[in-house]
Homo-oligomer: A and B are copies of this chain.
């Protein structure tokens, strides 16, 4: 504990039964969907970093970009950025770091002067060749941990949740008291 503060009262306000908190009945954090997904996401990221670390210095965002390009979706900066689901800002810094470390080269984009083309160097192609099989094995490992039923509905469920996460319109019935 930091060497100060800690004033007085515990159970100061709100007449809640001791041991039950402010919510009526017992509360189970494991039923909080966003919380569980956040925790899962963090674990998956740690697992991915562990795999990347076995083969080199690629960071997770760097790998995500290399993967999109390697897969041949596009060489246009914006298309790559959107496929990788990375913020403009982070994308700019990550790509330029990869140029400096020799993973990619850039070329002007003829059709749109604002964008540029990204091309993998041999170094990136070699890294992709080493990493892709391991990450594919991991994907199989993860899907194997699910029952067939779960495998079948996991992607639709993720997609449905992603759409539901886009708005806060459901609060229109519960307006902000400050308004």
Taking Cβ atoms with an 8 Å cutoff, the residues of A that contact B are 1-2, 5-14, 16, 18-23, 27, 29-48, 50-51, 54-55, 64, 68-73, 75, 77, 83, 85, 96, 99, 105-108, 115-117, 119-122, 125, 128-130, 132-134, 137-147, 149-150, 153-168, 170-171, 174, 176-178
Task: Identify which of B10, B69, B106, B144 contacts A75 (C-beta below 8 A).
Answer: B10
| Number of copies of this kind of chain in the complex | 2
**Cβ contacts under 8 Å, A55 to chain B:** 176, 178
Task: Identify which of B44, B54, B149 contacts A34 (C-beta below 8 A).
Answer: B44
Complex CA gap A54/B157 in Å reads: 28
Task: Identify which of B21, B30, B33 contacts A71 (C-beta below 8 A).
Answer: B21
**Cβ contacts under 8 Å, A1 to chain B:** 77, 106, 108, 115-116
